[in-house]
Amino acid sequence: MSDSLNKPMPVLCPVCQKEYPIIQIKHPITGEDRWVICACQCDIDKLDREKQEQENYLKKKRIQHALRLSSSLEDIRAMTFENLKMRNGYQSSVDEVKDAVLHFDERGKQGLFLFGETGNGKSHITAAGANALIERGYSVVFMTEKDLLNRFNSTKNFNNKESFFEIMDACVTADLLVWDDFMSSQKLSLEEKDWIFQIINGRERGNRPIWATSNLTPQEFESDEIVYKLDDKGRTWWRIIGNMNCIYNRATNYRKARAMAKVLGISIDEYERKQADGSQ
């Protein structure tokens, strides 16, 4: 700020060689008009770039941290929409996941629940959507239920490298949690039920979605046994379902089809056509 009422001499920016902007303002205390030499646009752009670089660095660290805690990382990262072979029964699941990717921010805590026969592509479809979000800069944790509960239980060991808080924090604060094989545990301890509730409650409060896959049949999905598996009132289950779009994936077991086709010496498509013809 100049002490003179006279406009100061122009000053050139050493970077772009343009004159620094000079404006007149009122002194906040004396009320006098003063001339001020402002920052050049070069300086402003540099600060903006540095700020953006810092934000990108922190976001990248958050993404890498979340991925490090994910199950079967190499397999998951290889699953995309491009290498997903479309099969009968997939379309509604694929459409739902693609919509969830496209409108991720607007959907908030609204997640999705894909259920159906084992080995029918649910994990690939959700992983493809998760990878699309990672490419857009979102942090994603992909966990199978068995691995999640085993890792929580392992934190009780003194020499365990992961802490309970580290795992719980990642599951609650990641932009997206993909929960594979949800409700697959035959029996849950009270402690494990509490961990599941903490994750579900924490993500709901943080307005963050869960994408879950499950091998439940339509009959099991509607059964009281599933409703009361997580607590005796059914509150956890209804909280989950209330925050998810539930889609029944009607595709058949691809792993079975691949194995049987190999045994019979025919293509997978041919085997599935024979199965479809036989069921009619």
Please compute the mean of the pLDDT values over residues 130-156 and round it to a whole number: 91
Residue-wise pLDDT tens digits, 27-45? 888 888 888 888 889 888 8
Write down the residue that tokens 């924090």 correspond to: 169
- Looking at domain 60-249, its CATH architecture is 3-Layer(aba) Sandwich (3.40)
Cβ–Cβ under 8 Å, residues 162 and 132:
no
pLDDT range class, residue 202, cuts 50, 70, 90: very high
Long-range contacts of range 202-207, CB-CB < 8 Å, 24 or more positions apart? Answer: 202/168, 202/171, 202/172, 202/173, 203/109, 203/171, 203/172, 203/177, 204/109, 204/239, 204/243, 206/109, 206/172, 206/173, 207/108, 207/109
pLDDT at 280: 47
CB neighbourhood size of 19 (10 A): 13
Please compute the mean of the pLDDT values over residues 203-212 and round it to a whole number: 96
pLDDT range class, residue 2, cuts 50, 70, 90: very low
Pairing of strands 244-249, 210-214: unpaired
- Distances in Å between the Cα of 55 and the Cα atoms of 49, 50, 52, 137 are 10, 9, 5, 11
Of residues 256 and 199, the one with the higher pLDDT is 199
Please compute the mean of the pLDDT values over residues 148-159 and round it to a whole number: 88
pLDDT at 137: 85
pLDDT at 211: 97
Rounded CA-CA distance 38/45 in Å is 14
DSSP string of the chain, one letter each residue: --SSSSPPPP-B-TTT-PBPPEEEEE-TTT--EEEEEPPPHHHHHHHHHHHHHHHHHHHHHHHHHHHHTSSSHHHHHT--STT----TT-HHHHHHHHHHHHTHHHHTT-EEEEEESTTSSHHHHHHHHHHHHHHTT--EEEEEHHHHHHHHHHTTSTT-SS-HHHHHHHHHHSSEEEEETTT--S---HHHHHHHHHHHHHHHHTT--EEEEE---HHHHHSHHHHTSS-TT-HHHHHHHHTEEEEEE----HHHHHHHHHHHTS-HHHHHHHHHHHH-
Highest mean pLDDT of the ranges 51-55, 107-111, 183-187? 107-111
Tell me what the pLDDT averaged over the chain comes to. 86
% the chain with pLDDT above 70 = 92
Domain with CATH 3.40.50.300 in the chain: 60-249
Given a cut of 60, is residue 4 above it in pLDDT?
no
pLDDT range class, residue 26, cuts 50, 70, 90: confident
Given a cut of 50, is residue 220 above it in pLDDT?
yes
Burial call 198-230: b when 16+ CB within 10 Å, e when fewer:
ebbebbbeeebbbbbbbbbeeeebeeeebbebb
- Distances in Å between the Cα of 109 and the Cα atoms of 49, 103, 185, 200, 201 are 31, 12, 24, 10, 11
Residue-wise pLDDT tens digits, 71-122? 666 778 889 999 998 888 889 999 999 999 999 999 999 999 999 988 888 9
Residue-wise pLDDT tens digits, 238-261? 999 899 999 999 887 777 777 887
